[in-house]
Amino acid sequence: MTPTFADLAKAQYILLTTFTRDGRAKPTPVWTAVDGDRLLVITQANSWKVKRIRHTPRVTMATCTMRGRPTSEAVEGTAALLDKSDTGTVYDAIGKRYGIVGTVFNFFSKLRGGMESNIGLELRVAQG
């Protein structure tokens, strides 16, 4: 089954696949929060996925387990890096979406300097 935006929006985990310069797929399970017609993700600003997104915004997304085992087919999409001023908004959305677990994650992430060292990502399903 190919997931719709609604399927991705309600999934506990999304398998976000970014691509290297030579086209190799690099999948990573992530938490997401819905904001209109996009999904928000918080990640380390110096992570490899951020470096790959800077090179190519093409991504695929699928529903998955906590360990990254896909539970649906992948759908094409795009990723964009958000401005640092949006980091707090992404944290708030993740905290709200994941309840107490998200709130605890946010607390400890911010305690370790997450507001300075993390960045928000915007994921959109490709229109087709």
pLDDT tens-place string over residues 29-77: 999 999 999 999 999 999 999 999 999 999 999 999 999 999 999 999 9
The pLDDT > 70 percentage for the chain reads 99
- The sign of the CA dihedral 44, 6, 64, 100 is positive
Residue 117 has pLDDT above 90, yes or no: no
70: its two tokens: 């896909």
Distance of alpha carbon 12 from alpha carbon 97, whole angstroms: 9
Planar angle of CA 10, 15, 19, nearest 5 degrees: 140
> Could you tell me which of 20, 23, 14, 7 has the C-alpha nearest to residue 61?
14
Tell me if residue 4 falls in helix, strand or coil.
coil
Are 63 and 70 in contact, with CB atoms under 8 Å apart? Answer: yes
pLDDT in the model for residue 128: 63
